[in-house]
Structure formats: C-alpha cells, structure tokens
Structure 1
Amino acid sequence: MPTTPFDLFSIDSLVDEETRAIAATVRRFGDDRLRPHVPTWFEDGDIPARELAKELGSLGVLGMHLTGYGCAGASATAYGMACLELEAVDSGIRSLVSVQGSLAMFAIWRFGSEEQKSEWLPRMAAGDAIGCFGLTEPDVGSDPGAMKTRARRDGDDWILRGNKMWITNGSVADVAVVWAQTEDGVRGFVVPTDTPGFSAVTLKGKLSLRASVTSELVLEDVRLPQSAMLPEAKGLSGPLACLNEARFGIVFGAVGAARDCLETAIAYAEDRQLFGRPLSGFQLTQAKFADAALEVGKAALLALHLGRLKDAGDLRPAQVSLGKLNNVREAIAIARECRTVLGAAGITGEYPILRHANNLESVLTYEGTSEVHQLVIGKELTGHAAFR
C-alpha cells in the first residue's frame, strides 16, 4: 500500500489527539464544502465570502487561537494545522481565515479596548461580521513606516484620509483595522465600513488568489470618535505584531498547498499509463516524488517546531521569518515540479497544481517578501540591520 507524504514522516505522531481531530474536521470540510467549488470561484475571480465566513465561524476556525469573546482558545499548533488543511484546498480560503483571525481580530484582541473587543470579536468569531486589515498602500509595502494615510485630531474626533491597497476582504468587510500616521506616530483605528467617507473597491484582473476578495480602501475624511483608536498599539510594533501572527499561519498553510500538489501528482501518475505501465513506476517520476516528499516533510517538521515554540511563548519574529521564507519558497518549487508530471493536463483547472502555484506567487510576497525575511534573518545572525 503506498504511503502518503505525511505518513512517511509520521506527522500525526507529533501532534496530540485534539489537534489531529481539528485537522481532520477542517480537511473534511475542505473536501466536502470547498473543493467542489474552488475551481469555479477561481475561474470567476470571486467567492461567496459572507456565506463562507458564517460556515467557517460555525466550524470554529475564525480567531480560533484567541481566547474569550466567543473564540475557541485552541493551541497555536492546532490553528496552524487548520491553516494547513485550508490552504491544501486554496490559498485564498486560508487568506480569508488568516486576515479575519490573525490580523483584524488579533489587532482588536491584543490592542483594543474592552468596548471594542466586546462589540466586534464575538460577531467576527461567528462569521457574522467580516474584518479587514488596512496597512499596505499603493506606494508603500515593505516599508510601512512610510505610509501616507493620515489621522488628524478635530476636537474630540479623528479625521482619517488616505488609501490602502491589496486588502483581503476589504469590499465585503464590516469593520476595517486601519493604520495611519498621527502626530504621535503610527496608530490603529477600528473603522466600521458604513462610516461616511469610507469606501472599498474590489480589484479585478488578478492572476493569483482569484478565489479571494482583494480591494482598495479609500478614506476620504472619515470622522471617528476617540474611542475608535486602538489604545494599546503605539508605533509600528502594533501592525508588525499582527503581521507576525498572520505569517505563522502561512508557515503551515504553504505546507498544505505543497502536500496537495504532491498527492495530486502521485494519484495522476498512478492512473496515467505510459509505455505499458503506470507513470508512477518510472525512475525519474519517483525521483521527483521523493525530492518533493522530502521538502514537504521538512517544511511540516519546521512548522510544527515553530508551533511548539509559539505555544510555549518562546517564538521570535526571526523564527517565523525562517518558516515563511523556507516553506513558501519550497512549496512553489514543489508545485512547479509536480505540474510537469501532469504534462498538459497540469495547466488546466481540472487539477489544482497550477492554481496552487499561481496562488503561492502572492503568498511569497505578502506578509513580508522573501527579501524582507532574508534581511530579518540576516540581522538576527549578524546584528546589522540592512533594510536601509
């Protein structure tokens, strides 16, 4: 009986029974509810985000690693395994969950007032309200300190003006966590999207993450009360802490995409007959599978190690950079190599491999480009900051 890539590394033996059960539940949900529709969503460049948010909320994965306020309070490792299973279906679905839980919800949970937490987190955990995270701008990506969005005081209120770009969930969100320059440095604001002056435009024509809502946020003199500010977030450390949460989910998610590519290629090669025997029986095909399985397993082991560190409270940002840099880079390489096993069939929507490869091109550069993570690791190793 052939062995699966995860069985080869005995991955299940490295997580507890509860985490295995969570992963299995999410995988079943992905197989039953998501996989039949993802090719169409990707082709159409749209997803039923509100419907999915409610279903994902019922599943318990929205903000699942947070405690209180209707959140599941699961371990970081369990959350990571849920991200892995979601991204095994499509990176866009995992992005919906990551942005909701690790960016928007985490920002409110970690830096918000009790009023903000009570108002938004239970609804967001249930999927009744969708959140987005407004940091990146049209001309500002890897250097968030150069953001142009401004918040100025006007009596007891704040007036926000600026644009945010490449915002997942933006045009379907009920609430946006928006970061802006103030006279006291960068501050975060909780912005209900029905506030006058706020608008969001869905971005079309994407060649990647098509089963995901991506938007531009426009803030035209959006007036907010003082209570809209996140009281505990001061400076860039606030949004960067949120990004680190999201990157952790990506470390696991990329493994799911890579595993799905490999499992798809193995199944195809077993069915495809060539020169009178299965394609899977040829040495060069098996060499491709062996190399891919090795990298999938190593990436999974790294993700689980980082999960344990996070659960112990010992995970450092540079270690998350190690995971994102390695796992996404290897996942893209695996997707491309597995596509070659399928030949021309590999470029069709009938199989998920090229869709994964396209999605991973976005995953490679969002939440910190590979170059940024290399410099984070380089600073950790040398003590010198080479960002400027």
Structure 2
Amino acid sequence: MPKPHPKNFVRTWIEIDRRSLFFNLSKFQKLAGKASIMAIVKSNAYGHGLALIAKCLTTKDKRLLALRSFSEGGWFGVDSVTEALRLRREGISNPILVLGYTLPMRLAEAAKNNIAVTASHFEALANLARAKKRPQLHIKIDTSMHRQGFQEDDLPRLIRELRKEHLMPEGVYSHLASAENKQFSKKQIAAFTRALNFMRSAGVALKHVHIASTGGIMRYRLPFANLVRLGLGLYGYLPDRRVGIVRPVLTWKTIIGEVKRVKKGEHIGYDMTERLKRDSTIAILPIGYWHGFDRGLSKIGEVLIHGKRCRVLGRVSMDMAVVDVTDIDRKLKIKNEKVKIGDEVVLIGRQGREFIGADEMAKRIGTISYEVLTRINPLIFRTVI
C-alpha cells in the first residue's frame, strides 16, 4: 500500500532526495582520493535530519560504490555526545567523532558507546585523565583560525601531558578558516604539518589525520591526510557559491492554507508594512519564522506556486506568511482553473523550471546558506524520496 502524501497529514514538510545525496558523496569521494570521508551531520545534518541522513549513507546497497566505500570506512562528525548517542540508538555503527567540547560527565557515555571526542585545550585533557573509562581521542590544533585548538607554542606541554596521563590520541586535526584564500590556507597547512611532525617525532602514533572540509577537499591535495570532513558539499551547496558539481538534497514544501481577494489600498500583515498597489489575490501559507522561514524575508522573499515565483507580502509572522498570487490566478482562470487551498508551495527547491536555493534565500536576508538550512525547525516532518 503506497504511503499517503505528506500534505494529507502535515502542512509543511521536507523531502530528502537520496539520489542527489549519493551523487554528491560520489563526487567528493573521487576528489578525496584515498582519504576516507567523515560525513558532517552536526546541527541536525545541516537541517536535513540527523538520523535520516545517517541511515541513507549507511544503506547496504552493493550496487552503489560510494555507499559501499562509506559503509566500510566512513565516519560521522557531530557536535555533541547527545547527537552521537542518537546515531547509536538508530543502529549506526560507523565511527563517530564529537567535534565540539565534551562535558566531563559525558565522557563515560562516549567511551561506552565507542564515540571519539575532541580535546582542544589542557582542561579537556585533565578531564580525560580523570575519567575512569576513556573514549578515543582526537587532538585539535589551532592553526590561526583561533577558535578551538592547541596553539603551536602549546605542543611541548601537550606532549608532556599526554605522556604523563598515558593518553593516546588516535587522531589529530585542524580547520581551514577560509579554504578559498590560498595564501592563508597554505599558512595553516604549513602550521598543521609542523604540529603533525612534532607529535609524530615525539612518538605519538596518529591513525587519523584531517584538516580539509568541503572547500579544502575541492582545492588541496594533502598526502599527509587520510580523512576529510564533508559538510555543506554533501547536501548540495558549496561555500564559495560555485555550482555544477553538486545537487541540492533538500526540498522544503508547504501548502496554501487560505486564498482571498483584497482591494487596492488595503494593508497586509502586522504593522501595516505592505499596502497593496492593485486589487490582489493573496495566499496564506501555514509557515513562519518559527519554522525557519526567516522574518527577514518580509516583503522581499519569494516562493514557488504552480512553477512561478510569488513575492512575500508584508511581515512574515510566527506561523504564517502571505504571498501574492494575483498574476498566477489570472493565468489559471484562462484555463478555468484557480489558485486554491491545498496547492503545493516550494520554499526551497525546484518547481517546474524555477529553483530557489538556500543560497539565494540567504543572500536576500544577508546571511549564508549554512544558517538558512540549519535553522529549519527540526520538528518539521522529513521524508526520503
């Protein structure tokens, strides 16, 4: 029996295109060469659905080389032990690395569930030293991004502390602040190489070495690295807005919840921010900024209805938004049709020949595609197509 369409039981939903996900994975596996892929699924897999994406990537399908390769040697990168435990509860057995700071009280859970953690400062090392059961450990090196990580001057003390507390890290990594800035990235790579050589010369056996994320995978061949962290590119977007090599995975949809005709000169929404310049047909959508449809899209955002762009009218509310469907309605009337309740609306994705990407939406509100995607409410129903 076929599954009921999402619009029969929810007013807004997200569709995850597994073919696009596999396509992107395959593209980056080729770019990564012999290095293994760490799929970054933090922040609810960039808004796509943590468990949903992880399950797609661990599908046992021998026909798909990319999936077979990932299932055999692929990692998952998360921000917290909470996210990691969710994956374990869902039956995900691949190696997992917590990229963020791990609270001391969560170290035992990490160790029990075979979850690796990051140490980026000496207090984190002290917490690990006191732990009765120690999880696997990756050391984070600060190579001038100045966010997380041990700095180069810390390395002699780092080695002493590792020896003193009998801590044996299995991995070391850093992060490129701006992969498209080759001069600065080369400086970071050189600093990371020095740290790597220093640790190895001190007898630290490092099994996993990684510094490149999506932008770095595309630009640099780093023979010393055997692991890469694939985040935004996995989901079909690129950090520098280049297009062509990836396919967006997520489509965000809603429906029309109400249609009405409003006279010229009337105001729409809170604070009367929009005054109609013509007699208009408007559609009320049951989504708003609570869902992740940013309030900054008020008066300037667009959605797709019947394959055409429709502008947001007035303020985006907490749970509703209003769009102008006047022109579409006129064209449909020629065919004895009309814009009606239940019509499908695309907020992010393709409808007909038109496409609205998360990067386009981000540009309208002065942010980045990462924020647009990760702020989509995790309670919204997600399905794989």
TM above 0.5: no
TM-score (norm 2): 0.27
Query: Would you tell me which structure has more helix in proportion to its own residues?
Result: 1
- Largest Rg, 1 or 2: 2
